[in-house]
Structure 1
């Protein structure tokens, strides 16, 4: 599985990503955008999603392309990050045109990080400005771990974080971006081995391999879940530079959910808002047999997402006031 030097979703042609966060708040925003509108759809499989404009991404809806996607902390308050991005895009004359009006299309999703030890006593919602700053910082290079939408993320046993990974099939590239904040765990109980270890590339999250106690099947030997009042969530974007229709982007997002199930136990619970956006920047034609090509791209997107989840937790850094340890702080087994 060839990867790129960056091993980030920005290896997909046209993709840019920006982060903005607040250490006191222990929360932040991540924005994915491009220099041109891109095709997108979404699949929601968690029981507690928080979203903006995702209905528009259904294959039967009118608008075919979007200007940016937002992943944010802050629960329902974090949806205001989309407004900050939308306002900035409008000032740049970017958006869907309806006569003289310009309307930026900025769907978004949020995760619950209101009980992570950060100061949430703001008098003015901070997420609009965080969204604006994340959009303005968008580039090919961005950091993982305690960054952006993953800044205050938690898993059942460890700090979560922002993760990304990429791969390619011939000239077509595929990538994943994820804020890892699940009710479930990313490692078996009392283990540093990631559930996603079978998919690791080039030692990207520690090269420990699978936990020997889980056996070949990877079936759970033991796992914990977060306190249910946290109402966590894993929110992700998978992208390719192959030319996909809106309906094919939806199939891409559905296939990528396998990556969440491979990397988090349990996944897609009633208490998670697990969601995956599927994106195409449309640089390369698919081969004649589109169904086979889409199957391969979807399988690669799922693998990238599993890797990205482990990378996000692996890269998390310890900070004052943390409620859970980082992966790097746990004892070797």
Structure 2
């Protein structure tokens, strides 16, 4: 276990980003089609193939997931991931046609100081292709890929990941791109809201403050009163090696959203587009009631840890007025 999404066998992750653009793409690629579902809790989502993942619809398995900055422009990243998969002969087969199935979601990073004057066509399709081609079992955290341009209300955002096992040995792991309207840390201090779930000082081991003051609990949001519906969003993927149906994957995504509430304050706001994709690579049988309940419980903990790790590993953008990183502030 390396505390990464790729601790689940058959899952690979790749990044592509552009420092001048201050934005990028992260591709999650499955070696074999994975059962998947999606849960959206934010009030301003931007998704690709969301209808396909609806429980009433036919296709149950996906080939990859594309996460991107760029707001709605970033939805083109899925086309780049799809193009790479098509070159590998991967996809849903309908007689002689093969169509790679690539859901995706975007976060807004257009106002972070990067150069977004890209001309007629946005670069996200090409970044998606490069991210998919780069996918492997080891990948960086922090200000990389879809997390390069991310910010929170008070600190630089980023991309994090974490993993765990249930007592029966079923694995579950999460990856999160943290561009939330709220904060991942408590007040003006170094403490993470997700501190109770930290493992082996993976985000600094600072614990929680001795007491919570009213100032710590007041609302801090990106943009303050001028916050707009499209400036934010946390994107996440949770994957397990348990055998799940599409309905059960949906339940896992819903339970994993609890990790957002444990790590971000406030969360699921009208100005967020928070979304969780849940996928099963299918290898270990679990009880459909107690087993799934335990898996969802652990998934929520893992999600909270992944979110905190994304902030802990982030580095500030090299642009005027950039938000500081957690390490800049607290060392």
TM-score scaled by length of structure 2: 0.95
Equivalent residue number for residue 188 of structure 2 = 190
Post-superposition CA distance 1:202-222 (Å, at most 9, x none): 00000000122328xx99533
Q: Distance in 1 between matches of 2:55 and 2:10?
A: 22
Q: Distance in 2 between matches of 1:159 and 1:115?
A: 13
Q: Which whole-Å CA distance do the structure 2 matches of 1:240 and 1:214 have between them?
A: 35
How far, CA to CA, are the matches of 1:156 and 1:223 in structure 2? 10
**Structure 1 outlier segments of 4+, above 4 Å:** none
What secondary structure sits across from 2:156 in the alignment?
coil
Instruction: Select the residue among 111, 115, 118 that pairs with 1:119.
Output: 115
1:4-23 equivalences under 5 Å are 4=1, 6-23=2-19
Report whether the alignment pairs 1:162 with 2:159: yes
Which residue is equivalent to 1:312? 310
How far apart, in 1, do the equivalents of 2:216 and 2:255 lie? 22
Task: Between 136-145 and 322-331, report the one with greater CA deviation.
Answer: 322-331
Match of 2:298 in 1: 300
Unaligned segments of structure 1, at least 5 residues: none
Bigger mean CA deviation after superposition, 140-149 or 218-227: 218-227
Q: Alpha carbon RMSD of aligned pairs, Å?
A: 1.5
* Residues 133-212 of structure 1 aligned to structure 2 (within 5 Å): 133-169=130-166, 170-212=168-210
Aligned residue in 2 for 1:84: 80
The residue that corresponds to 1:327 in the other structure is 326
1:59 Cα deviation from its structure 2 partner:
1.7
Q: Contact 2:15–2:24 (CA<8 Å) still a contact in 1?
A: yes
Q: Report the Cα offset of residue 223 of structure 1.
A: 4.0
Shift of 1:87: 1.2
TM alignment of 1:241-260, pairs within 5 A: 241-260=241-260
In the aligned structure 2, how far is the partner of 1:54 from the partner of 1:152? 24
Q: Match for residue 269 of structure 2?
A: 269
Label 1:214 to 1:86 Cα distance change in 2 as closer, same or farther (>3 A).
same
**Hey, what does 2:44 align to over in structure 1?**
48
- CA displacement 1:246-289 (0-9 Å, x = unmatched): 00000000000100011000000000000000110001111xx3
Closer, same or farther: CA 23–43 of 1 in aligned 2, 3 Å: same
User: How many residues matched?
Assistant: 324
- Answer whether contact 1:188 1:222 (CA < 8 A) is retained: no
1:96 aligns with 2:92: yes
- Stretch of structure 1 that moved more, 57-66 or 195-204: 57-66
Cα distance in 2 between the residues matched to 1:241 and 1:257: 19
CA contact (8 A) 1:188 1:223 kept: no
Q: Which residue of 1 aligns with 2:104?
A: 108
Given that residues 143 and 149 in structure 2 are in contact (C-alpha distance below 8 angstroms), is that contact kept between their aligned partners in structure 1? yes
Q: Is the 8 A contact 1:194 1:211 kept in 2?
A: no
